[in-house]
């Protein structure tokens, strides 16, 4: 992640933002690692008018920013929530760009102590935008300091220890916090209430993703046909980050094994090589469904048992696989465990057991 609007990254060691831990690498994972972030940065829009999708959030943000600019004051603190890969970091960068303000980037996991946060806050300039990714993971000791800083633009620095300790208030210049979270429900209510604007980002439609793919192809100077763009878009799981990732893999295939032209044949063949099927399911997705239908007769089965069956960590299955399978109607989460929906059997070309045909749709009611 890089701040292209004149800002810098901030972490706990050497000014570097620590990498997020990824339990499993996947072409269709909405998360991104270090090299992936560098590739994404080149494709990010710089202004709000260039941002594709999220029409409601864009309009709301435009009003907030224009009103603050007209009043000559910094905007209220803003919170962006939604699944990974939908543009929360990009919007934070756009906010700083629209305000012509410097951008400071950090993350919740990097703020483990009040001192970490105090060091960041005390160095902010007036009007600066502080972006906190995964804000729900800010450590508890730093949360109370963040509350005061956001509301009163002040931090209390503790000098000394024990009975001789004294609190010295340090005034801060006005600034704007932009928080991003994939799990808004984990945000403490006092922190959530200090955000004056909360925008929720939804998954993209295939038409919007096609616009994203076309725009990225133009920036990468790729010859992309309309049917190829549509094919990539429909396999991108409603997520621009995945769409851009698949586009780069199709480009690789076309340059190495094809004619260099990204047509429908190149797109389909490249995605076959990378094991992304026509519904956007990858190898791990199909492994989970195959284990559920083949080994456990459609379930229900416990999450840990299912994870062992596919040789993955429980967290990987729960956070990287389940959300999409549930959203697409392949998987049912029930109090008794995970169960295959009728669409899972159909997608795998399998016939459900006779007792499963009638009961699978009802498992979600327990």
**Catalytic machinery residues:** 88-89, 133, 182, 241
Residues 174 and 190: their CA atoms lie apart, in Å, by 20
Residues 6 or more apart from 167 whose CB is under 8 A from it? 156, 157, 158, 159
Q: Where are the beta strands (DSSP E) in 72-175?
A: 78-81, 103-107, 129-133, 154-159, 166-171
- In terms of Cβ atoms closer than 10 Å to its own Cβ (0-12, 13-18, 19+), residue 226 is exposed
Given a contact cutoff of 8 angstroms between Cβ atoms, the answer to whether 223 and 176 are in contact is: no
Tokens 């700083």 locate to 96
Q: Where are the alpha helices (DSSP H) in 222-321?
A: 226-234, 240-256, 264-273, 283-294, 303-310, 314-316
- Half-sphere CA count of 298, side-chain side, radius 13 A: 23
Angle (CA) 249-252-257 rounded to 5° is 125
Residues 59 and 57: their CA atoms lie apart, in Å, by 5
CA distance to 30, 66, 82, 179, 338, per residue, from 199 (Å): 19, 16, 9, 10, 31
Tokens 């990974």 locate to 84
């Amino acid at each position: 992640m890089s701040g292209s609007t004149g800002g810098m990254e901030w972490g706990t060691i050497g000014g570097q933002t620590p990498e997020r831990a990824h339990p499993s690498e996947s072409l269709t994972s909405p998360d991104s690692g270090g090299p992936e972030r560098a590739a994404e940065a080149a494709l990010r829009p710089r202004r709000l008018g260039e941002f594709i999708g999220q029409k409601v959030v864009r309009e709301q943000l435009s009003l907030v920013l224009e009103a603050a600019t007209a009043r000559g004051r910094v905007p209220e603190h803003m919170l962006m929530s939604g699944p990974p890969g939908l543009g929360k970091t990009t919007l934070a960068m756009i906010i700083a760009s629209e305000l012509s303000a410097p951008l400071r980037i950090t993350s919740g996991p990097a703020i483990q102590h009040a001192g970490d946060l105090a060091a960041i806050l005390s160095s902010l300039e007036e009007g600066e935008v502080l972006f906190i990714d995964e804000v729900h993971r800010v450590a508890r000791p730093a949360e109370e300091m963040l509350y005061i800083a956001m509301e009163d633009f002040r931090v209390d620095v503790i000098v000394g220890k024990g009975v001789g300790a004294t609190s010295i208030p340090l005034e801060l210049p006005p600034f704007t916090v932009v928080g991003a979270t994939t799990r808004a429900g984990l945000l403490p209510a006092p922190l959530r209430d200090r955000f004056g604007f909360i925008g929720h980002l939804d998954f993209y439609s295939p038409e919007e993703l096609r616009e994203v793919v076309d725009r990225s192809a133009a920036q990468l100077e790729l010859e992309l046909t309309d049917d190829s763009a549509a094919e990539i878009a429909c396999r991108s799981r409603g997520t621009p980050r995945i769409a851009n990732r698949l586009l780069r893999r199709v480009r690789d295939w076309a340059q190495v094994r094809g004619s260099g032209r990204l047509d429908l044949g190149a797109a389909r063949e490249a995605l076959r090589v990378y094991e992304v099927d026509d519904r956007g399911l990858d190898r791990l997705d199909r492994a989970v469904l195959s284990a559920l239908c083949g080994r456990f007769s459609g379930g229900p089965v416990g999450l840990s048992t299912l994870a062992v069956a596919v040789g993955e960590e429980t967290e990987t299955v729960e956070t990287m696989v389940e959300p999409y399978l549930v959203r697409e109607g392949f998987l049912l989460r029930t109090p008794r465990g995970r169960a295959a929906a009728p669409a899972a059997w159909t997608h795998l070309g399998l016939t459900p057991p006779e007792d499963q045909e009638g009961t699978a749709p009802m498992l979600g009611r327990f």
